[in-house]
Amino acid sequence: MSAPETPETTTQHEQTTHFGFKQVESSQKVNMVKEVFQSVAAKYDIMNDLMSLGVHRLWKRYTIDCSGVRAGHKVLDLAGGTGDLTAKFSRIVGESGQVVLADINDAMLKVGRDKLRDKGIVGNVEYVQANAEALPFPDNSFDIITIAFGLRNVTDKDKALASMYRVLKPGGRLLVLEFSKPSNEMLNKAYDMYSFHLLPKIGQLVANDAASYQYLAESIRMHPEQEVLKAMMETAGFEQTTFKNLTGGIVALHRGFKF
């Protein structure tokens, strides 16, 4: 299934944007995305495991391996959801470091906070409800920023990338892990079949919510593909920007530095 021919962020009129394949008022998208994640928050982890057959954990591990994180670092896990990355970052940065788990959605943040506290991860983790487009942190605050499976839900991605650039320390790096465009046409077709036919059914069965997973499939198709996102990062000011396709390009990890 192909995505409609619409710009990936706000239109030239700055009035409308996409929500999956639909065009909606820009001001509405935040609340619509919020409703999606409020609905799926409780089953978020189990759905991730089911949808990806657990491979999302390996993609996240790869992200951490590319982050260069070490003891004492200050890390921002943006759109951190249920805290998969935060948990590992917290142990690696240790007592001298700090991890900020930020998410625009309070339901996701609450699930993440409860999960991490149950695991005994306390002390160096801070929870902040924040909009990626206007991060509530001083300039040059973080050594590393990660945003895993979050950027495609942001209304104004350029604004969000600029905001991330602002709060990143010179020498720091941004890692964007996000669904992308498979490089092989056969895989692309199989992936379309899976996303638009099977995924909503799994969503209905497990989370009793087919619509949210229909949105997930649509939002993936509307997200800028690898080269476009790389160019967007460069426009925001990031240097040495590169990307790596994972699992045939179903997911891509983009990395950029601030100097």
Partner 1 sequence: MPFAQLVTSGIELAMNQLLKLDDDSQQGLKKLSGKSLQVSIKELPWPLLFTFSEQIDVRTVITSDQDLEPTSLSVDCLIELNLETLPKLRDSSQLTQLIQQKQLNLIGDIYVAQTFSALLKDLDIDWEEQLSGYTGDVVAHQTFSSMRALFDTAKTQIEQGAIELGERLTQSDSIAVKPSEMFEFSRGVSELRGATERLSARVALIEQKKKVDTGSNN
Q: Which residues bind partner 1 (CB under 8 A)?
A: 55, 57-59, 61-62, 64-68, 70-71, 88, 91-92, 94-96, 120, 240, 242-247, 253, 255
When the beta carbons of 142 and 243 are compared against partner 1, the nearer one is 243
For 149-163, give the DSSP string: S-GGG-S-HHHHHHH
Phi-psi region of 140 (alpha: psi -120 to 50; beta: other; left: phi over 0): left
Hey, which residues does 177 pair with through a beta bridge?
Answer: 148, 253
When the beta carbons of 57 and 201 are compared against partner 1, the nearer one is 57
**154 exposed, middle or buried (CB, 10 Å; 0-12, 13-18, 19+)?**
buried
When the beta carbons of 237 and 248 are compared against partner 1, the nearer one is 248
When the beta carbons of 97 and 200 are compared against partner 1, the nearer one is 97
Please report how close the Cβ of residue 240 comes to partner 1 at its closest, in angstroms. 6
Residue 103 annotated in ligand binding: yes
Please report how close the Cβ of residue 254 comes to partner 1 at its closest, in angstroms. 10
Residue 41 annotated in ligand binding: no
Q: Is residue 137 within 8 Å of 69, Cβ to Cβ?
A: no
- Rounded distance between C-alpha atoms, residue 239 and residue 258, angstroms: 6
Annotated binding site for S-adenosyl-L-methionine: 82, 103, 131-132
List binding-site positions: 82, 103, 131-132
